[in-house]
Structure 1
Amino acid sequence: MTDAELETAFAASGLAGAVTMLFDADGKRYSRSFGETTPSGGAMREDTIFQIASMTKALVSVGAMQLVEQGRLSLDAPIGDVVHELADPQVLTGFDADGKPVTRPAANPITLRHLLTHTSGFGYSFIHPEILQYYAATSMPAAGTLDTIRMPLMFDPGTRWEYSVSTDWVGRAVEEATGSRLGEYLTEHVFAPLGMNQTAFRDALPEDAAKVHVRGPDGSLMQIPVFLGGGEFDMGGGGLTSTAPDYGRFLRMMLRGGELDGARILRPETVAEMGRNQIGELRAGYMGTAMPEMAQPFDTFPDQHTGWGLGFLINPEPGPNGRAPGSLAWAGIFNSYYWIDPASGVAGVFMSQLSPFGDAQALDMYGALERMAYA
């Protein structure tokens, strides 16, 4: 296995640094760090801590599915029975002449399945301009508060796929069902059993963690002070910090049908169900943008009718870089990415810290990592 193409891709990427790893069910197949933790910082290490952002969602989904196995949460009962704030969902239909939001009751309740599949009706303010307009008409929520996930629905649950704050509400459901803070539950039942000892909701980034940067007009890199952690709740949609080796242990658990090093996290049939398309004829995966400085329009497989499982994007056809149909994947907003290919028995993780999301050069390097896995 040669990484010459990966070296070339990093040299062309303009990234400050990155960590790349490949895994199979038995262990790590490849690992290499590139560059620096910041545009002028120390050397990137394989165990450098990153803000993994929306890569948090898969781990929270696993925690929720443990509770489904135990009968403490139901996929299809109204989630408002557990999270009472979601018991009377309202759909935004527009704005009146004074700019005030107009809503109507949703046609049906929100369920945990809707939340895990992003068919709940919720949105994201950085993707959906109507959510930004709603906040402008009411009040812009303070960062780190529960108000950042409080919003009307954009459509009736189950009728569309739109990427959203849904997994933040999954985290709240875990908390209500267990009486524990989300981070405490995940540490005890997911991270510690898997040996993910560097994965946590932190109140601040460690000094030696990788820092987020942006490209200046001349292409040079500038560090920016952005941190998704802290605040009044553990943000299930994107608040975790982790390392590539830690995340690889989660990926291997999924490849192994829910078990790693003797610790069973999920039943095999639960893992299989998480990897099955749950949204019928709806198409998942496309994200527009209301804040291009945070995220570019994004679609991993624009030529495929991609599906969504209980926490993952699913490609129904072979991917251009080698992954098999039925693979699972997603990403974090600071240009970190992963995939799990059960059919081929391989998984990979690519971590960098660059804004905005969907950076072409970062995606080129991620593609080179994937091609190397199947070479």
Structure 2
Amino acid sequence: MRNSAEIDQALRRTSDAGEIPGVVATVGTSREVIYHAAFGRRDLSKDQPMTTDSVFWIASMTKAITAAAAMQLVEQEKLSLHEPIGKLLPDLANPQVLEGFGADGEPKLRPARTAITLLQLMTHTAGFCYDMWNDSMATYLEKTGTPSITTCKRAALRVPIVGDPGTRWEYGTNIDFLGKAVETASGQRLDAYLRDNMFAPLEMNDTAFKIRDSMRTRLVGMHVRGPDESLRPFPFELEQEPEFHMGGGGLYGTASDYLAFARMILNKGRSNGHQVLKPETVALMSQNHIGDLNMTKMKTAAPPYSNDVDFYPDMPKKWGLSYMINTAKTPEGRSAGSLAWAGLANSYYWIDPVRDIAGVIMMQVLPFADRKCLDVFAAFERGVYCHCKPSADENDVIN
């Protein structure tokens, strides 16, 4: 690709300087892939270079895929966005709200005032949270001996909500319940449903909950940034024989596979001759579904795993099904109304329908929202838009 040297330089410089171990980045339009490169190393404890087909834990980038699967079933009228989800998932029929803890340290619970819907699960307004960003839930898990969601144990799903459904946005385990809804409505386990209805038509051949042998040879190691800014390898792997597949964060995959998913969204649901989603479904998923509510700052309750998260703090952010939506143009050039989100180990994507651009950048570093990783992401995105024409016409590509 002509004139990609600026992007190459930014990514190579950061990895060569040891600020990140390695990175894979890729960009596409609705018509073609226009950038794909890898820099640095897969693992600082080994000599393997990063390659464009390297496999990452994509964590919460899983969410948009699970939501797209659920919307296929909405199209088939096997799921409903607005009906109480407790009709389908009895465990959610009578949600309890955590209101704090008594003098004896025991949790104080009350019945929720309204039922939970599928739409609320998709928009993180159902009331579920992550203990990583909620001190009260962290305390609840400790007091009750409830395992964390990343254990992929069924007991991890038996938790109260922290607010009445529909009353506020709070990032949480909602999409794991969405995955259970996909399983119940389809009659398939989530891994099988995604394989047949999402990965096969999109040719996402290196994306799965279970790391196959062919994927393991290309697996990127996890790293942790210490207080002195140094990086060290950190042994990490999700349970490979889980009690349930974590629809909110369980997938492993490549940057090119994820770009195939993002380009399907740009293409109004179409890819490789398959209509994966109807155009009107893609349009619906891309709209604000939290009304006057806003995405709020995610204050860390677990600093080793996440910093505070507050993307574009001066800009109201909305939520679609299920992506963050920026309401104004970003400093990097992303159009207002674009879709985006991320994975815990500092992988990120964005989909800009106005400019017909989607980008994916993957690293494997904790904690989340690492400043150096965010700087790399911003430099990459700025470089992409620097070489884009200002309108989404047929020439709107990096050149």
The answer, yes or no, to whether TM exceeds 0.5 is yes
**TM-score relative to the length of structure 1:** 0.97
Matched with 1:337 is: 348
Structure 1 stretch displaced more, 305-314 or 282-291 = 282-291
Select which of 2, 14, 23 maps to 1:18: 23
Structure 2 match to 1:156: 164
CA distance in 1, matches of 2:238, 2:28: 28
**Structure 1 CA distance, aligned partners of 2:55 and 2:98?**
39
How many Å separate the matches in 1 of 2:14 and 2:355?
29
More displaced 10-residue stretch of structure 1: 228-237 or 287-296: 228-237
Q: Give the one of 261, 266, 272 matched to 2:272.
A: 261
Q: 1:321 aligns with which of 332, 343, 365?
A: 332
Distance 1:5 1:209, change over 3 A: same
Q: Which moved more, 1:170-179 or 1:330-339?
A: 170-179
2:9 paired with 1:7:
yes
- Where 1:190 maps in the other structure, the secondary structure is helix
1:66: which partner in 2?
72
Q: Please state how far the C-alpha of 1:284 moved relative to its aligned partner.
A: 1.1
- Give the alignment of 1:29-48 within 5 angstroms: 29-41=34-46, 42-48=48-54
Match of 1:132 in 2: 138
* Aligned-pair CA distance for 1:40: 3.1
The structure 1 residue matched to 2:98, chosen from 92, 95, 109, is 92
Measure, in 2, the Cα distance between the counterparts of 1:190 and 1:9.
30
Per the alignment, residue 87 of structure 2 pairs with 81
Matched residue SS, 1:93: strand
Compute the displacement of 1:372 (Å): 1.5
Q: Is 2:225 the partner of 1:226?
A: no
CA contact (8 A) 2:6 2:383 kept: no
Q: Which residue of 1 aligns with 2:128?
A: 122
2:139 counterpart letter in structure 1: Q
1:235-265 CA distance string (max 9 Å, x none): 0010000101101100110000000121110
Q: Secondary structure at the match of 1:130?
A: helix
CA distance in 2, matches of 1:288, 1:259: 38
2:357 corresponds, among 346, 349, 354, to 346
Check the 8 A contact 2:42/2:50 in 1, yes or no.
yes
Shift of 1:140: 3.5
Structure 1: how far apart are the matches of 2:121 and 2:5?
Answer: 39
Maintained 8 Å contact 1:275/1:309: yes
Letter in 2 for 1:97: A
SS of 2:159's partner is coil
- Give 1:286 deviation, angstroms: 2.5
Look up the match of 1:284. Answer: 295
Q: Which runs of 4+ in 1 moved over 4 A?
A: none
Contact residue 285 and residue 307 of structure 1 kept, 8 A: no
Please, which runs of 5 or more residues in structure 2 have no aligned partner?
387-399
Task: Deviation per CA, 1:76-124: give whole Å up to 9, x if none.
Answer: 0010111111010011111111111111110110000000000000100
Residues in 1 aligned to 2:384 and 2:163: alpha-carbon distance in whole angstroms: 40
Counterpart residue number, 1:374: 385
Given the alignment of the two structures, is residue 112 of structure 1 paired with residue 118 of structure 2, yes or no? yes
User: Does 2:195 align with 1:184?
Assistant: no
Corresponding residue SS for 1:126: helix
* Matched residues, number: 375
Tell me, yes or no, if the aligned pair for 1:121 and 1:160 is still in contact at 8 Å: yes
Q: Which amino acid aligns with 1:37?
A: R
Find the residue that maps to 1:12 and give its secondary structure. Answer: helix
- 1:24-83 Cα shifts (integer Å, max 9, x gaps): 001111111011101133011101110000000000000000000000000000101111
Asked if the contact 1:285–1:313 (Cα under 8 Å) also holds between the matched residues in 2, the reply is: no
Q: Deviations over 1:266-289 (max 9, x none)?
A: 000000010000001111152111
Asked whether 1:274 is paired with 2:276, we answer: no
With over 3 angstroms needed to count, the CA separation of the structure-2 counterparts of 1:310 and 1:92, relative to structure 1, is same
Q: Which amino acid aligns with 2:30?
A: A
Matched, 1:146 2:151: no
Task: State how far apart, in whole Å, the 1-side matches of 2:166 and 2:380 are.
Answer: 35
TM-score (normalizing by structure 2): 0.91
8 Å contact from structure 1 (residues 89, 106) kept in 2: yes
2:11–2:380 Cα contact (<8 Å) kept: no
Percentage of pairs with the same residue:
46
Cα 1:23–1:285, aligned 2, differ >3 Å: closer, same or farther? farther
Q: Deviations over 1:182-217 (max 9, x none)?
A: 010010000001100111011577143001101245
> SS of the counterpart of 1:348?
strand
CA contact (8 A) 1:6 1:365 kept: no
* 1:51 paired to 2:57: yes
Question: Which letter does structure 1 place at the counterpart of 2:36?
Answer: S
Deviates more, 1:200-209 or 1:17-26: 200-209
Q: Is the Cα–Cα contact under 8 Å of residues 56 and 236 in structure 1 kept in the other structure?
A: yes
Matching residue's letter, 2:189: R
SS in 1 for 2:136: helix
> Is residue 7–residue 384 contact of structure 2 (8 Å, CA) maintained in 1?
no
Alpha-carbon distance between aligned partners in 2 of 1:202 and 1:280, rounded to the nearest angstrom: 37
Q: 1:295 aligns with which of 303, 306, 310?
A: 306
